[in-house]
Amino acid sequence: MRKQIAAGNWKMNLLADEAYALARRIEKYAITNTIGTGREIILAPPAPYLETIADIMHFSPQISVAAQNCSEHLSGAYTGEVSAGMLKSIGVKYVIIGHSERRQYHGEDHSTLRKKVERVIKNEMRPIFCCGEPEEIRRKAEHKAYVSNQLEESLLCFTADEVRTCVIAYEPVWAIGTGQTATSKQAQEMHHFIRSLIAEHYSEDVADDISILYGGSCNPGNAQELFSNKDVDGGLIGGASLKADQFIEIIQALT
């Protein structure tokens, strides 16, 4: 059965002391409160803090650490890059792949993202695969075709067993960091569409197993309503994950 997940994407924020303090607050919350086996907290700090935060979380099975990116290459002369194998070796469990900021500012295309997904799966970590349409596509009512193409090109080419290991995050680009959240109805409609697409490609079983997170200006004020939808299995949270109190309220909104 799929899990309900609150994942914090810290992006390029926080200095080391701030990052470790935030991680410790979340860890303390998880120790003193019952999270429940059907729920999971994921923290995606900037790369330099991954190993320390993975160590902090070592005894908290309900908190996993995610990297925000990895290289599509195996190893070698790729200055500045971090391989999936390196992430695995320091205790990282998930890797965010295909965030719209990586697609937009780093030119990551479908084929690069497919290779990254493959590296993550081969290293026995789990991709958090992001998809979502820009505003002009939504205005033209082409969002379903757009998202289905993103998924088909980079994710739905893997086997059923491989896809089962993935988490999908639906993040409409117009909602990311803008304060303009998708309505509960818009989120449910897209999540249901994504789940149907997986069922069509594989089976209902596989589709039922995959957590589909909503991302884009999710906050303590709207999390409960968004998460109450049948096909919304939690959120990928940017801004609101940088404040412990807000992120904890979002964790509490998981169904």
Catalytic residues: 99, 171
Out of 67, 84, 238, 251, the residue judged to bind ligand PGA by CB under 6 A = 238
- Cβ-based neighbour number of residue 155 at 10 Å: 24
C-alpha–C-alpha distance, residues 159 and 139, integer Å: 33
- Beta carbon of residue 101, minimum distance to ligand PGA (angstroms, whole number): 7
Can residue 218 be called a binding residue for ligand PGA (CB under 6 A)?
yes
Q: Is 127 in the site for ligand PGA (CB under 6 A)?
A: no
CA neighbor of 175 nearest in space, from 142, 131, 212: 131
- Among 132, 216, 220, 234, the residue binding ligand PGA under the rule CB under 6 A is 216
Q: Shortest distance, CB of residue 176 to ligand PGA, whole angstroms? A: 4
Q: Which residue, among 185, 177, 227, 234, has the nearest Cα to 210 in the 3D structure?
A: 234
- Min. distance of Cβ 231 from ligand PGA in angstroms? 18
Element housing 13 (H / E): none
Strand partners, 213: 169
Which residue number has the CB closest to ligand PGA?
238
Q: What are the E-state strand segments in the chain? A: 4-9, 39-44, 63-67, 94-97, 126-131, 167-170, 212-215, 234-237
From residue 160 to residue 189, what is the string marking binding to ligand PGA with x (rule CB under 6 A)?
A: -----------x----xx------------
98 sits near ligand PGA (criterion: CB under 6 A)? no
The residue ranges that bind ligand PGA (CB under 6 A) are 9, 171, 176-177, 215-218, 236-240
